[in-house]
A and B are shown apart, each in its own frame.
Chain A
Amino acid sequence: MPVAVRIPTVFRKFTSGESQVQVDPGTIGDLIGQLDNRYPGFKRQVLTDDGSLHRFVNVYVNDEDIRYIERLDTRATEGDTVSLLPSVAGGSDRLDDRGH
């Protein structure tokens, strides 16, 4: 049984519009490699040049954020669901309204 990977809208242009794809079990690093083989350029969307996870991409195995477990070494086994989500962040960066 493969691992299901849920693809967020922002990455679907790299997966021919697919919202969910199947990959073989392995570490998250392995899974990203499989996706990059199938969809060239995918890895660059998710990983930095030094091979770590972009700070604005969240990856989960089932309900767990891999940043709080073993990051890219976290394993996804048969029947697991891996979800990718862009982080949602920002802020005013100021406590006054001068400058507008």
Chain B
Amino acid sequence: MSDEFRISSELAEEMVQHCIEGRPNEACGMLGIKDGTVVKIFRMTNALRSPVRYRLDSTEQLAVHNTLYSEGWDWAAFHSHTHTEAYPSPTDIREKRDDVPYVIVSLATDPPEIRAFRIEKEDWAGDEGVVQEIPVTILP
């Protein structure tokens, strides 16, 4: 996808709602994207059930990938930070493995903040990465 990130206010609200319902733990999921615009929120299970860490449930992840494959959609990952800002933490950078946008929803502010990033790594398995913000446009 091009480096812009568009989401309707309705789907943004659905993503935020999933994050709120996941509290006190971090919530996570995937976003189906067509032509740079989010078309579907995949609410998924945080396999780590933790307030400070997340990992997409691997079985759900495959099922969503199969849907993305059959629909021909791009995707992004999203997760919440329950008490910190919507910016990749050192853990987010270290654990970043796939070359897709990472969206973070911060529940530390009211209303919650949504920001999107690319995390570029020279070595996909390495710990170091460079964060680049992708502008988020919320469509009416």
Contacts and interface: CB of A to CB of B under 8 A. Distances in A.
Interface in B60-103: 61-63, 65, 77, 79, 81-85, 87-99, 102
A92 B59 contact: no
B17 interface: no
Interface residues of A, number: 27
Nearest to B81: A92
Contacts, number: 113
Contacts of B93: 90
A1 interface: no
Contacts of A94: 52, 83-84, 89
Contacts of B96: 90
- What's the interface size class on B, roughly? 35 or more
Interface of A: 8-10, 45, 54, 56, 58, 60, 63-65, 67, 83, 85-97, 100
Interface of B: 26, 28, 30, 48, 50-56, 58-59, 61-63, 65, 77, 79, 81-85, 87-99, 102, 108, 124-125
- A-B pairs, top 6 by smallest CB distance, nearest first, are A91-B53, A86-B97, A90-B92, A89-B55, A92-B81, A90-B95
11 contacts: A9-B98, A83-B62, A85-B58, A88-B28, A89-B48, A90-B93, A91-B26, A91-B53, A94-B52, A94-B84, A95-B83
